[in-house]
Structure 1
Amino acid sequence: MAIGLSREQAPPRAAEYEPVRRRRRPVLIAVIVVLAVLLAAFVGWIGIRALLARQQLEAAQPSASAVVAAIRSGDVTAARSAAGELSKHAAQAASLTGDPIWRLGEGIPLVGPNLAAVRVVASATDSVAREVVAPLVSVSGQVDPRSLKPAGGRIDLAPLVAARPVVTKAQAAFHAAAGSAAGVSTASLIQPVGDAVSRLNGLFGQASPSIDAIGNSTRLLPGMLGQAGVRNILVVAQNPAELRATGGLIGSVALIRADHGAVTLEAQQAGTSIGPWPSEVSDIPDATIGIYGPLVGRFLQDANYTPDFPLAATTIAAMWEKAHGGTVDAVITMDPVVLSALLKATGPVALPSGDTITSANAVPLLLSEVYARYPASSQQDAFFSSAAAAIFGKLAAGHVDGEKLLSAFSSAGSSDRLRIWSAHADEQDVLASTTLAGALPVSTPQTAALGVYLNDATGSKMDYYLHASVSAGAEVCRFDFRPTSLVRVTLTNHAPANAGTSLPTYVTGGGTYGVPPGEILTRVVVYGPAGGLLAGTRLGSDPVRVVSGTDRARPVAVVSVQLKPGESKTVTVQFVNARQLSPGLTVATTPLPPGAGVTPDVGARTTITSIAHVCDSLVK
């Protein structure tokens, strides 16, 4: 019996498939063609719009520069015209990169991150043009630095008050745009796009201080200048010829009264005439006393041994109130370097002594020549008081270039030579985010923040001849991957070889505190990162004993260095960065003296040079 399939049940022969295959092939080809067309259209759409967006962003750059130039020159009409051009180009770039097709392309591997980055750059530029530049240009006449100078002893606060809502909103919009650009990772971007993102972040970084200066000024100045009632402000002159951690010995204190923009000089006193007291005048942390001694809360001249400026300022305010009564609303500190910058705004000022003080001679005159000319401290104090009163009088009368005045204050703050503290919590909150606050360095999980501060122990004015340089580095040296930080501070005594006999006794100290005339004794204070550990110190190549402690979770080492004329020594301090896993590093310093009797640029920050091969230089 035969077993098998019938003809009807058997599979069809190959020839029977041909009609089906022929019918399917055109359909498949059509699908491929359609997809190819769509893909070409998609790529073309994205490519053309990317090219146009790039052109618009490039066209926006000259407009942005024109806005800045027009504002600086005071040409409001030109600023508005340039701002309009900037907004037009930025808006078109944002529109070209914000459609659904572009967003769809951002999901494509490799290509997508680049499209997203271009969109963020365009959007951030558009936001800045619409929400920052245009509003600030609209109120530029109200916050123009030329209009902020005193007239007849009074600053008109009304324009600042009126502009404050607009400026505050623009400041917030700027930081939002900067934050969006900073959030773009450049790791997977092609070079042109990555360069564009880096360039934009760089521009944000450059503009940020100016934006914050304008925004914070409108938030701070009206209140601090007495818009809502009288304010008492202490202006403290620091003398870097005798160093303290915040800049210098407190040589004099002036009480300024501000009432609805009217500013008057109420009183002046030499620092030596205030106090001392038998016990601390305010709450000084035990850790601070442990590191700097009990005098920090009893002597005005020692209140700024600590680099924690808010603590030093509250102590200074408490000392003034204890000596004179009343209430201190703010404390401002500055030094003769800041004064030299202010004199660029006022021009030369004639003094009762017959001298003319200028930006060129202010530092040598106030830090050196006065001591050679007047041997008695009372004569020196009288000279300083008369100079301060003459300069204040010229400022209050409005004989000043407003733009140069603002530039001087801005540069002084960025170089740590100007500090401001307010007794009013809302104002202090604003100050805390600025370079003016002077708080202890703040570390992050990625970056260890260190500090290097100098306190004179000679008891004289020899720091006019002290030169200091700082270098630092960090590297992962340990098996637990905690980074090691290393700081080197090199001090040099540039006084003449015969300084002990050729310089006045008031300058050398005359050996009163045990330091031979002509020599300089300095206490080098080095702060490690919060939560870190002090691993070791040395002076030159030898281990050295130190005063150590902890200040607000920061390890502190204090090393005493004594130098003969012409001598140089180096202090090395090592820390373990217990809270960091990467070797990021920042270093804050006392504004360091030039050591050669020259006037440093008020805006120049202390240069921190880099130490390589930290692991090869460990303190054993």
Structure 2
Amino acid sequence: MDDNVTGPSGFGTSGPDNRGSDDRAQAADGAPVRRVRKRRTHQPQVRSHRLRRRVIIGSSVAVVVVVAFGAWLGFTAREAQANLEEARSHAQLAKDALLDGNTADAQRSAADADKYASRAYENTHSIPWSISAAVPVLGSPLATSQQISEVVRGLTHDVLTPAVDAGSTLAPDQLIQSGGRVNVQSLRNAVPVLDQTSVAAQSLSDQAHTIDEATYLDVVNEARTALQDQTAELSNLLSNTAIAAKVVPAMLGGDGPRNYFLGFQTNAEARGTGGLLGGFGIVRANDGGAKVDTLASNSELSMDKRPLDLGPEFEARYGASRPTTDFRNSNLSSHFPYAAQIWKSLWAQESGEQVDGVVATDPVALSYVLGAIGPVTMPDGEVITKDNVVELTESTAYVRFADDNAARKQYLQAIAARVVDKMTGKLSSPQALLDALGRAAGEGRIAVWSADPVLQQVLSGTKVGSAVPGDTAPYAGVVVNNLGGNKLDYYLTREIEYVADTCVSDTRSSTVTVRLTNNAPAGDFPQNVAGLVQGVGNVPKGTNSVDLSLLATRGATLRKVTVNGAQQFVFTGNELGHPVFNVRAMIPQGKTTEVTFELTEPTTPGEARVPVQPLVDSPNVSVDVPNCGS
């Protein structure tokens, strides 16, 4: 018999496994036989069971690790968010303290802001966070958060801290002294730090605009957008402040007396720079102080002057309107340096005085100033406030003095004089006045030109310079000039849309759509408010007639212009390198007229710009033009 005894199934026979005893056994007849060990049929099942246990234990550990890591990330994210909020809060406290002239509190709050911003940076730049941020898609919000914390830390460390350290001299109560006098030496001392912080702020603003959009988590994207807006605003503020520190001391007589022509624009009758030159004054500046005298109406500027040569391009476009001799047409162009040079020339011929520069403003800016300094009271007891000054000067006065134009102009001069006197006297809140002037300048309601070429070079690149830019970036300058000789632009509202195709070709199609609405209410208006000058056409009283210009991107060509869907005849020209397209449009009372310019323009890099002409309204402007490079 074979030693390996097997049963029918082919496996070893069953029976007890006598471990630890002799391997031999006896057969039934008593003869000894060699016992064969039986293979354990349950061993694969045991191994499988043990493997499952290991997998379960390993999986459980992995789950615990993942959950713990997720909890750590959640905790760190909340901590980072809290630190960013603390940084923002302390930065605001530093700003408020600085504006109040409290240098010690400002420095303390700036240090706290930097401390919390650094903590947020550390929260989001640990090794585990960085590893997680590198995971495609899932790590996107973490990567965006890292970029946000980098910009915030840069703002507190490179902008806020040095600005506060040197900013005590720029506190409004230190900068503006008694009688409205500006401390020009403080401004000059601040130039190096302002230059440093404005450069840093611009760099951080650029960095903020390269932050990646998170693929999910709206709260992260909302923080990203808010940071981009805030850094852009801060960069503009610091840039403008640095420029002001360079030009204001000289312009306010820090190097000797300076004189300026101050033009008051009536934007109820639109002109390229805002409105018709309605009155003017001469500003006398010396050692940081300024006074206004020689307040007069536009009728003081006679129209028998010698013309001013502003070049063949200007003459070709505007010469027929005699802009350099007729003050009524002196600011048809939206390029303020043209109007400024004309006004300087007119005053020199009128008075023999050569001014050092020109400043323009309007009643809307006056309303901002009144909001800061408080109302003024006229000799008859009438109170002029921030809420009624625009209506009084742009509308009511034309009805009240419909039969006495000289009295109306005298009334407007009296209002201007009262506001100027209060503005240059003792101020209860210098900061409020600075804010008001800054808002007006930001809206183009204060424009400045200097006869000094060095100062003008600086001004020309700023908002307050109100100059048409000479670069090739996408541009849509929409300009309204009143053709009716009336004051209906007080009731005019505007909508402007500028859209363009993608950047795939050297040229692209673009469209500029302008909607003009005449909101003049029903009523019997005086002729000087709602009538039309002769030669415009036989149209109903109350109809607004305008010359609408588009200064387009350099190199752009026009395909067609439509007014309310009907193709129109177009006047073409050039101004400062920009092609210009003009149409004349009628806007019936209570109606909207839509003008559409269809263009082919070069696909040039740069952010698209739509400058807003400072009229009475605040127009709705929408831009959908891709930036084709940097």
| TM-score interval, smaller chain | 0.7 to 0.9
Please state how far the C-alpha of 1:506 moved relative to its aligned partner: 3.0
CA distance in 1, matches of 2:415, 2:424: 14
1:164 counterpart SS class? helix
Rg larger in structure = 2
Alpha-carbon contact 1:245-1:454 (below 8 Å) kept: yes
CA distance in 2, matches of 1:421, 1:554: 21
Please state how far the C-alpha of 1:276 moved relative to its aligned partner: 2.2
Residue of structure 2 equivalent to 1:450: 476
With 481-490 and 329-338 compared, the bigger mean Cα shift is at: 481-490
Please state how far the C-alpha of 1:228 moved relative to its aligned partner: 0.8
Q: 1:541 aligns with which of 551, 555, 565?
A: 565
Matches within 5 A, 1:414-425: 414-425=442-453
Matches within 5 A, 1:437-516: 437-440=465-468, 448-465=474-491, 467-476=492-501, 482-497=507-522, 502-509=524-531, 511-512=533-534, 514=536
- CA deviations over 1:364-389 (Å, ceiling 9, x no partner): 11112222222232222222222222
Q: Return closer, same or farther for 1:188/1:430 CA change in 2, 3 Å cut-off.
A: farther
With 375-384 and 334-343 compared, the bigger mean Cα shift is at: 375-384
Residue of structure 1 equivalent to 2:613: 590
Matched, 1:401 2:429: yes
Q: Return closer, same or farther for 1:380/1:150 CA change in 2, 3 Å cut-off.
A: farther
State percent identity of aligned pairs: 25
2:178 counterpart SS class? coil
CA distance in 2, matches of 1:479, 1:84: 48
Q: Return closer, same or farther for 1:400/1:423 CA change in 2, 3 Å cut-off.
A: farther
Please state how far the C-alpha of 1:306 moved relative to its aligned partner: 0.3
Residue of structure 2 equivalent to 1:22: none
Q: 1:573 aligns with which of 597, 601, 605?
A: 597
Q: Return closer, same or farther for 1:404/1:421 CA change in 2, 3 Å cut-off.
A: same
Alpha-carbon contact 2:518-2:592 (below 8 Å) kept: yes
Alpha-carbon contact 1:485-1:577 (below 8 Å) kept: yes
CA distance in 1, matches of 2:477, 2:512: 9
2:421 counterpart SS class? helix
CA distance in 1, matches of 2:499, 2:87: 40
Q: Return closer, same or farther for 1:47/1:350 CA change in 2, 3 Å cut-off.
A: closer
Please state how far the C-alpha of 1:187 moved relative to its aligned partner: 8.1
Residue of structure 1 equivalent to 2:54: none
Q: Return closer, same or farther for 1:552/1:131 CA change in 2, 3 Å cut-off.
A: same
Q: Return closer, same or farther for 1:306/1:353 CA change in 2, 3 Å cut-off.
A: farther
Alpha-carbon contact 1:591-1:606 (below 8 Å) kept: no
Please state how far the C-alpha of 1:144 moved relative to its aligned partner: 1.9
Alpha-carbon contact 1:515-1:521 (below 8 Å) kept: no
Q: Return closer, same or farther for 1:322/1:539 CA change in 2, 3 Å cut-off.
A: same
2:511 counterpart SS class? strand
Matches within 5 A, 1:257-268: 257-268=284-295
Residue of structure 2 equivalent to 1:253: 280
Matched, 1:551 2:575: yes
Give the unaligned 5+ runs of structure 2: 1-64, 626-630
Alpha-carbon contact 2:573-2:579 (below 8 Å) kept: yes
Residue of structure 2 equivalent to 1:326: 353
- CA deviations over 1:88-147 (Å, ceiling 9, x no partner): 233455578889x89998997959999987665444433322332122223443212244
Matched, 1:290 2:303: no
Report the residue type matching 1:530 in the other structure: R
CA distance in 2, matches of 1:220, 1:479: 43
Report the residue type matching 2:368 in the other structure: A
Equivalenced residue count is 552
Please state how far the C-alpha of 1:271 moved relative to its aligned partner: 1.9
Residue of structure 2 equivalent to 1:136: 163
Please state how far the C-alpha of 1:509 moved relative to its aligned partner: 4.8
Please state how far the C-alpha of 1:419 moved relative to its aligned partner: 1.4
With 331-340 and 166-175 compared, the bigger mean Cα shift is at: 166-175
Matched, 1:173 2:186: no
Please state how far the C-alpha of 1:164 moved relative to its aligned partner: 3.0
Report the residue type matching 1:459 in the other structure: G
Q: 2:620 aligns with which of 603, 607, 612?
A: 607
CA distance in 2, matches of 1:236, 1:539: 34
Please state how far the C-alpha of 1:229 moved relative to its aligned partner: 0.9
Alpha-carbon contact 1:483-1:580 (below 8 Å) kept: no
- CA deviations over 1:264-318 (Å, ceiling 9, x no partner): 2232232232242465323244256325734122222212100111222222222
With 288-297 and 533-542 compared, the bigger mean Cα shift is at: 288-297
Alpha-carbon contact 1:239-1:247 (below 8 Å) kept: yes
Residue of structure 2 equivalent to 1:525: 549
2:322 counterpart SS class? helix
Alpha-carbon contact 2:337-2:467 (below 8 Å) kept: yes
Alpha-carbon contact 2:503-2:603 (below 8 Å) kept: no
Q: Return closer, same or farther for 1:543/1:233 CA change in 2, 3 Å cut-off.
A: same
Please state how far the C-alpha of 1:450 moved relative to its aligned partner: 0.4
Give the unaligned 5+ runs of structure 1: 1-39, 595-604, 613-620
Please state how far the C-alpha of 1:57 moved relative to its aligned partner: 4.1
Q: Return closer, same or farther for 1:150/1:323 CA change in 2, 3 Å cut-off.
A: farther
Alpha-carbon contact 1:292-1:306 (below 8 Å) kept: no
1:562 counterpart SS class? strand
CA distance in 2, matches of 1:249, 1:64: 43
- CA deviations over 1:156-210 (Å, ceiling 9, x no partner): 3333333333333222222233334434555899988776654432331232333
Q: TM-score, normalised by structure 2?
A: 0.77
CA distance in 2, matches of 1:414, 1:146: 22
CA distance in 2, matches of 1:327, 1:363: 31
Residue of structure 2 equivalent to 1:228: 255
Report the residue type matching 2:391 in the other structure: P
Residue of structure 1 equivalent to 2:55: none
Q: How well do the aligned residues superpose, as a CA RMSD in angstroms?
A: 3.7
Q: Return closer, same or farther for 1:187/1:564 CA change in 2, 3 Å cut-off.
A: closer
Q: Return closer, same or farther for 1:306/1:218 CA change in 2, 3 Å cut-off.
A: same
Please state how far the C-alpha of 1:227 moved relative to its aligned partner: 0.6
Alpha-carbon contact 1:474-1:483 (below 8 Å) kept: no
CA distance in 1, matches of 2:188, 2:237: 19
CA distance in 2, matches of 1:346, 1:62: 29
Q: Return closer, same or farther for 1:291/1:559 CA change in 2, 3 Å cut-off.
A: farther
Alpha-carbon contact 1:233-1:256 (below 8 Å) kept: yes
Alpha-carbon contact 1:280-1:298 (below 8 Å) kept: yes
Alpha-carbon contact 2:265-2:278 (below 8 Å) kept: yes
1:590 counterpart SS class? coil
CA distance in 1, matches of 2:394, 2:526: 13
Alpha-carbon contact 2:476-2:498 (below 8 Å) kept: no
CA distance in 1, matches of 2:426, 2:142: 53
2:228 counterpart SS class? helix
Please state how far the C-alpha of 1:455 moved relative to its aligned partner: 0.4
CA distance in 2, matches of 1:201, 1:406: 25
Q: Return closer, same or farther for 1:458/1:109 CA change in 2, 3 Å cut-off.
A: same
CA distance in 1, matches of 2:416, 2:224: 48
Q: Return closer, same or farther for 1:304/1:168 CA change in 2, 3 Å cut-off.
A: same
2:379 counterpart SS class? coil
Q: Return closer, same or farther for 1:117/1:427 CA change in 2, 3 Å cut-off.
A: farther
Residue of structure 2 equivalent to 1:560: 584
Q: 1:87 aligns with which of 114, 121, 142?
A: 114
Q: Return closer, same or farther for 1:511/1:190 CA change in 2, 3 Å cut-off.
A: closer
Q: Return closer, same or farther for 1:61/1:497 CA change in 2, 3 Å cut-off.
A: closer
Report the residue type matching 1:504 in the other structure: P
With 553-562 and 87-96 compared, the bigger mean Cα shift is at: 87-96
CA distance in 2, matches of 1:422, 1:236: 14
Q: Return closer, same or farther for 1:288/1:586 CA change in 2, 3 Å cut-off.
A: farther
Matches within 5 A, 1:15-414: 56-57=83-84, 59-72=86-99, 75-92=102-119, 121-149=148-176, 151-152=178-179, 154-186=181-213, 197-277=224-304, 280-287=307-314, 289-290=316-317, 293-374=320-401, 375-414=403-442
Report the residue type matching 1:405 in the other structure: L
